[in-house]
């Protein structure tokens, strides 16, 4: 068992509950993860295939993938072959059961296969997280096939819940621990009692002898005993349901920033509810078009189907300096001038901020080394920069700002961001590195080639180095990217949306994802601009640009330019009533007393 008290966890949850994201967060700190995919089909179902691809894009580059859809028995074999020190994530058990029940594999002893899997989970030497749908809370399926699937999955969930050290249940992105210790007492279920040959009277007597709220200290050995494998049954330990996790407190200054952080998730139901409500709005036209993405995002992050437009916004303008070839073609005085402009309320960024109800905080960070020569920061500097970004997000929240915009005006930032995105995604750096623009709308291709050489040499240098999130910041990213990463994490911890639109923000989003997978759900890509770097990183993050305007006003300015339009769309979606022809009753405006959509 690991130092934090568990070797195996079963994560249960309904559709779109956030169970997969929670499971990914549990293993985010592992240097490498073997992702075991159980899904089958998708060849003739674009929507299902899209779901699978979305999961694939979410996985860090350091993960490897095993597929068991074609052979359910292979899952138990993989678990048996796993070595100590390895980390496995199985997602999910529903796909495994669907494959198990395939008519082509019948007749088959499905119960024996489930028991074998439960034993493999119990005996697995690796650190293991298993994701599974919870289908027992819905109506009994109307078809024989549906009932067979629900029964089989329920049986499998019971067996694995007993085998795992811990069991979590995720609802609306909020986890509750159902089982928090391997020896936690529970009940013997009807299914297991029948399989073990226990009579109803015996079962009732056992249930009466074991208080439902017993704690491990109060449980007797008999009450906690398991039915042995010789009886061909597996006992189920059902823990006492814990109270929901408390809402994050205002003071998060003591939070440790490390891989595997547990941050909140947006409301997984509010976004789809807002989308459905848009179809009924009293609009003379067909709707808000591509701005739907912004409405769904606002609804999810605010937890309501009737979101309101964001109020005051804060722009963090990061002024970082990178040494070596990363800054080729850049005049250091230009970065100073841009920062001074913003502080004086002058220039394009300041003018856009004034019209978008935004203030600007210029953040000057220590210089970073030459990536081609060695690490650009040491470990202590990385931690300090992450903490600074975290605290900057906290200061924005305390000042009443409702969204964060990441901007940059430093020297060498684009090359550093390119190196990080390439290292994380495996993409070709030369294909992503932005060209070097100089005053007069001219491009300096010689400087671009020097930047390419710097990124190439840095990638070669780290080819055998660890690829963890903090490693990427120390080896390639530098202080400005570390501060931006901390700001993304700090905003997510405080349920504050982050608007991205440039290389630094996208690179920070990728690194933040590898520290806390939930953080990416608090990010919105307003406009991808013209940079392939931004599009590549956004694709891996699973972010779809709201707009495709091709803006290139400078990082941070693009988001501010589009912000009034986003606010307009969100205001319409949140305040307009339902079209009179669609009202369910006289006087029904489509809103309930709490501002939600009416039934």
User: Angle CA(187)–CA(191)–CA(196) in degrees, nearest 5?
Assistant: 85
Contact assessment for residue 452 and residue 435, using Cβ atoms and an 8 Å cutoff: no
Cβ-in-10-Å burial (0-12, 13-18, 19+) of 199 comes to exposed
Instruction: Give yes or no: 446 in active site.
Output: no
- Select from 218, 165, 153 the least CA-distant residue to 191: 153
Per the CB < 8 A criterion, the answer to whether 151 and 113 are in contact is no
Question: What H or E segment, with its residue span, contains residue 77?
Answer: helix 73-81
Query: Tokens representing 445?
Result: 């291709």
Question: With the CA atoms of 35, 41, 47 and 48 taken in that order, what torsion angle do they form, in degrees rounded to the nearest 10?
Answer: -40
Token pair listed for 48: 């299902």
Which residue is it, tokens 């090359």? 415
Whether the CB-CB separation of 320 and 402 falls below 8 Å is answered with no
Radius of gyration in angstroms for the set of CA atoms belonging to the chain, rounded to a whole number: 26
Gap between the Cα atoms of 118 and 156, Å rounded: 8
What is the rounded CA–CA span in Å between residue 46 and residue 515? 31
Give the separation between CA 576 and CA 599, rounded to whole angstroms. Answer: 16
Helix (H) or strand (E) holding 337: helix 332-343
What would the DSSP string read from start to end of 310-338? --SEEEEEEE-BEEGGGGTT--HHHHHHH
Q: Which residue has the tokens 């999810």?
A: 300
Residues in the chain: 599
Give the SS3 label for residue 64. strand
Which of 21, 566, 571 lies closest to 293, judged by CA?
A: 566
Contact (CB, 8 A) for 11 and 160: no
Using alpha carbons, select from 342, 491, 533 the residue that is nearest to residue 402.
491
d(CA 10, CA 12): 6
Token pair listed for 120: 């493999």
Residues with a known catalytic role: 555
């Amino acid at each position: 068992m690991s130092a934090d008290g568990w070797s195996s966890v079963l994560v249960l949850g309904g559709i779109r509950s956030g169970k997969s994201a929670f499971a990914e967060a549990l293993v985010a700190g592992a240097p490498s993860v073997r992702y075991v995919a159980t899904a089958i089909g998708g060849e003739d179902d674009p929507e299902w295939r899209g779901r699978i691809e979305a999961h694939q894009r979410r996985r860090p580059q350091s993960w490897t993938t095993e597929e068991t859809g074609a052979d359910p028995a292979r899952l138990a074999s993989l678990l048996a072959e796993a070595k100590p020190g390895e980390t496995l994530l199985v997602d999910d058990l529903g796909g495994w059961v669907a494959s198990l029940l395939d008519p082509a594999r019948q007749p088959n002893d499905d119960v024996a296969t489930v028991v074998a899997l439960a034993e493999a989970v119990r005996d697995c030497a690796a650190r293991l997280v298993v994701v599974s749908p919870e289908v027992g809370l819905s109506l009994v399926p109307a078809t024989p096939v549906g009932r067979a699937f629900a029964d089989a999955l329920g049986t499998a969930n019971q067996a694995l819940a007993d085998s795992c050290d811990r069991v979590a249940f995720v609802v609306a992105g909020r986890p509750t621990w159902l089982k928090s210790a391997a020896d936690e007492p529970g009940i013997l279920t009807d299914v297991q009692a029948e399989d073990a040959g226990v009579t109803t009277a015996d079962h009732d007597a056992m249930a009466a002898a074991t208080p439902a709220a017993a704690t491990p200290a109060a449980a007797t050995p008999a009450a906690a005993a398991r039915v042995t494998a010789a009886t061909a049954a597996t006992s189920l330990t059902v823990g006492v349901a814990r109270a929901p996790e408390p809402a994050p407190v205002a003071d998060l200054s003591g939070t440790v920033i490390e891989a595997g952080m547990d941050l909140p998730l947006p409301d997984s139901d509010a976004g789809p509810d807002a989308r459905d409500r848009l179809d009924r709005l009293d609009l003379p036209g067909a709707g808000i078009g591509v701005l739907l993405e912004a409405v769904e995002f606002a609804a999810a992050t605010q937890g309501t189907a009737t979101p309101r437009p964001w109020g005051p916004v804060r722009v963090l303008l990061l002024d970082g300096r990178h040494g070596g070839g990363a800054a080729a073609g850049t005049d250091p005085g230009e970065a100073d001038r841009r920062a001074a402009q913003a502080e004086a309320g002058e220039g394009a960024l300041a003018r856009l901020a004034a019209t978008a109800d935004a203030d600007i905080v210029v953040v000057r960070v220590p210089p970073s080394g030459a990536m081609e020569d060695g690490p650009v920061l040491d470990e202590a500097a990385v931690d300090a920069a992450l903490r600074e970004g975290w605290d900057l997000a906290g200061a924005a929240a305390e000042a009443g700002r409702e969204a964060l915009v990441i901007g940059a005006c430093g020297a060498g930032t684009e090359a550093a961001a390119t190196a990080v995105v390439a290292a994380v995604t495996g993409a070709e750096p030369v294909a992503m590195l932005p060209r070097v623009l100089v005053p007069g709308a001219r491009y300096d291709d010689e400087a671009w080639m020097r930047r390419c050489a710097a990124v190439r040499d840095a990638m070669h240098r780290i080819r055998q180095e660890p690829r963890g999130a903090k490693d990427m910041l120390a080896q390639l990213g530098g202080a400005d990217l570390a501060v931006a990463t901390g700001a993304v994490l700090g905003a997510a911890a405080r349920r504050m949306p982050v608007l991205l639109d440039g290389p630094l923000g996208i690179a920070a989003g990728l690194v933040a994802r590898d520290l806390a997978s939930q953080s990416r759900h608090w990010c919105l890509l307003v406009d991808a601009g013209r940079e392939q770097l931004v599009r590549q990183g956004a694709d891996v993050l699973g972010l779809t640009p709201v707009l495709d305007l091709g803006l290139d006003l400078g990082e941070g300015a693009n988001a501010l330019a589009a912000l009034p339009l986003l606010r307009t769309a969100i205001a319409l979606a949140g305040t307009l009533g339902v079209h009179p022809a669609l009202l369910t009753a006289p006087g029904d405006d489509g809103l309930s007393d709490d501002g939600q959509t009416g039934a």
